[in-house]
Amino acid sequence: MSETDANIDRYMNYLVVEKGLAAATIESYSQDLSRFAGFLKSCKIADIAETDTAVILKYLIFLRNEGLTARSRARHLVTLRGFFKFLIQEKLLKKDPARVIDLPKTGVQLPDVLSVEEIERILNAPDTTRPKGMRDAAMLELLYAAGLRVSELVGVKLQDVNLEVGFVRTFGKGSKERMVPIGSYAREKISEYLKTARLLLLKSLVSPYMFVAHAGKPMTRQGFWKLLKKYALIAGIDKEITPHSFRHSFASHLLEGGADLRAVQMMLGHVDISTTQIYTHVARDHLRKLHEKYHPRG
């Protein structure tokens, strides 16, 4: 019996002896947790301590792809919440990975994810015959290629992008530095922008920032948000889209393509105490190869 199965058995005994739940409820919880245990095995996660928020989100996406309704996915999340709360109580875990996932009345709130086709329509929306259009196309490509937060995107400096190797350096929450691979599409658009458009936008001014707006100042978060809404409208997409939608889509498309979960977490810059040590052994070259293989525009 695996450690995960043993912990599930402990929880089932607790529900029977301590909580005195009905047999039908116990059976429902048992089936939900057995399904989750099978998912962990498919992800090659043998130790329940390796389960973090990203794993649970991936599981909820898996359930959605399996055809489960929002109500059914909400029930699974409630089951997992109870399970992990029990493991914390028993001091079998130090951190509850399910606690931070929202459970609205309408069902499980999964991140807004655009399809690859919708992403491509937005990426193709800017008019690249104009300097601002070339800048916007480069920004959109980089946002999707690296899964950046909008604050990270507008803060990118010239020295942070290595087009030859194919990496962008960024500073996330807590000023933590990370290197993220970027594919050929983003590299091409950035290169085109740097050759002509950036100089035209600067008008003899100097700026350390990659993406410049009026009077050589860096693009603001609010300014980019407005641009994204404009291009979504041009692309004929009527759903609510934010810069974070690109970040969620970046992660979802990589995971659905088969990319390693730990590598995706590292690219996103999610710093979870329980997985920090795992991150350290993922080599930069390995990340680049994963990006090239699994990213739709790698």
Q: Is 166 left (phi over 0), alpha (psi -120 to 50) or beta?
A: left
In this structure, the answer to whether residues 146 and 53 fall within a common structural domain is no
Residue 109 included in any domain = no
In a shared domain, residues 142 and 10: no
Per-residue pLDDT at 103: 57
* Residues 39 and 174 reside in one and the same domain: no
195 shares its domain with 281: yes
Q: Which of 89, 106, 127 delimits the end of a domain? A: 89
Examine residue 273 and state whether it is found in any structural domain, yes or no.
Answer: yes
End-to-end CA separation in angstroms for the chain? 41
Average pLDDT, the chain: 84
Stretch 263-287: mean pLDDT:
52
The whole-number pLDDT of residue 160 equals 96
The share of the chain scoring above pLDDT 70, in percent, equals 88
d(CA 234, CA 125): 6
Residue 98 lies in a domain: no
Decide if 213 is inside a domain. yes
* Per-residue pLDDT reduced to its tens digit, 162-198: 999 999 999 877 778 889 999 999 999 999 999 999 9
Are 154 and 49 in the same domain?
no
Q: 58-95: string of b/e by CB count within 10 Å (b at 16+)?
A: bbbbbbbeeebeeebbbbbbebbbbbbebbeeeebbee
CA 81 to the chain's CA centroid:
21
Domain that holds residue 146: 116-294
Please check whether residue 110 lies inside any domain of the structure: no
Which stretch of 57-71, 208-222, 276-290 has the lowest confidence by average pLDDT? 276-290
The total number of structural domains that make up the chain: 2
Element spanning 178, H or E: strand 177-181
Q: Please identify, among 39, 54, 89, the residue that sits at the C-terminal boundary of a domain.
A: 89
What pLDDT does residue 86 have? Answer: 93
41 and 136 both lie in a single domain: no
Q: Is the confidence at residue 108, as pLDDT, over 80?
A: no
Residue 95 lies in a domain: no
In the block, residue with structure tokens 């009345």: 105
Whether residues 123 and 266 share a domain: the answer is: yes
> Residue 67 is encoded by which pair of tokens?
């055809």
Active site residues: 149, 173, 244, 247, 270, 279
Cα distances (Å, whole numbers) of residue 36 to 14, 39, 54, 63, 161: 19, 5, 14, 10, 40
Residue 30 CB-density burial (10 A; 0-12 exposed, 13-18 middle, 19+ buried)? middle
- 253 in any annotated domain: yes
Q: The domain that contains 192 carries what CATH number?
A: 1.10.443.10
- Stronger pLDDT, 64 or 141, i.e. the higher one: 141
What is the average per-residue pLDDT within 82-94? 91
Q: Specify the pTM.
A: 0.61
Map residue 287 onto helix, strand or coil: helix
The sheet carrying 167-171 orders its strands as: 161-162, 167-171, 177-181
Same domain, 131 and 237: yes
CATH code at position 32: 1.10.150.130
Residue type, 41: K
Structure letter (DSSP) for residue 155: T
Would you state the pLDDT for residue 117?
A: 93
Same domain (yes/no): 135, 237: yes
Residue 114, judged by CB atoms within 10 A of its CB (0-12, 13-18, 19+), counts as: buried
pLDDT in the model for residue 23: 82
> Are 169 and 265 within one domain?
yes
For residue range 35-55, what is the model confidence (pLDDT) as tens digits? 999 999 998 888 888 888 888
CB 144 within 8 A of CB 119: yes
213 vs 139: CA distance, rounded Å: 12
Residues ≥6 apart with Cβ < 8 Å to 15 = 21, 25, 26, 29
Residues 125 and 79 in one domain: no
Q: At a CB cut-off of 8 Å and minimum separation 6, what does 190 contact? A: 138, 141, 142, 161, 163, 182, 210
Cβ–Cβ under 8 Å, residues 266 and 178:
yes
Same domain for 60 and 169?
A: no
Q: How far is CA 123 from CA 66, 134, 143, 174, 290, in A?
A: 29, 11, 10, 30, 22
